[in-house]
Amino acid sequence: MIKISNHIKVLILSILLSGHAFSDYTHPSVKRLIQSNSAPIGVVFELIESDKRTWQWAAPLIKSLRTQLKEKYPDIEIAVVSHGREQFQLTQKRAKHQKQAISILKDLVIKEGVDLHVCGTHSSWYDIDPNSYLDIVDVAVSGPAKINDYINLGYQPIQLYRPPVQIK
């Protein structure tokens, strides 16, 4: 019988629970949208989480879902509105704790044209200066109002949540 050290077990579990395990995840709303054969102008992904490492799973998930949508609808626009505690992870001070996730978000915003917003009202409740966010982040006056703006433009709203681990 092969003995595996606890360190190796933790490493394996960490890999499985990282964003890589979610890279092929299909959100039910995205799946329905793709199957409908009716392209909206865009999709606005909503995040409202309290997990201190939200972007470790959310950034790869958003990247995967964007890729799936673009394969079916090449002209679809993608936006993300973060208005839970996870938005504070996008401050310059805290971004260093999730370097890989922030790198994915930077690519999505800069190279792929994804719009990334956080809620200015929520920031004000915690005295977070709008200038403390990363340059890739737009601080909207209100996260919910920003989502409604996108809906009024014809975007399909999709709330994201941490997907269950999928072992292949």
Residue 2 half-sphere exposure toward CB, CA atoms < 13 A: 3
Per the domain annotation, does 18 fall within a domain?
yes
Per the domain annotation, does 66 fall within a domain?
yes
pLDDT in tens, 69-103: 999 999 999 999 999 999 999 999 999 899 999 99
pTM here is 0.83
Token pair listed for 129: 């200066």
Per the domain annotation, does 91 fall within a domain?
yes
Per the domain annotation, does 81 fall within a domain?
yes
Per the domain annotation, does 143 fall within a domain?
yes
User: Which domain, by its residues, includes 144?
Assistant: 6-159
Does residue 139 surpass a pLDDT of 50?
Answer: yes
CB 157 within 8 A of CB 151: yes
Split at pLDDT 50, 70, 90, the class of 24 is low
Per the domain annotation, does 165 fall within a domain?
no
Asked whether the CA dihedral 137, 153, 64, 87 is positive or negative, the reply is positive
Residue 26's CATH number: 3.40.1260.10
- Containing H/E element for 140? strand 138-140
Does residue 166 surpass a pLDDT of 70?
Answer: no
Cα separations in angstroms, 146 against 50, 66, 162: 20, 19, 22
pLDDT in tens, 28-83: 889 999 999 889 999 999 999 988 889 999 999 999 999 999 999 999 999 999 99
Number of domains forming the structure of the chain: 1
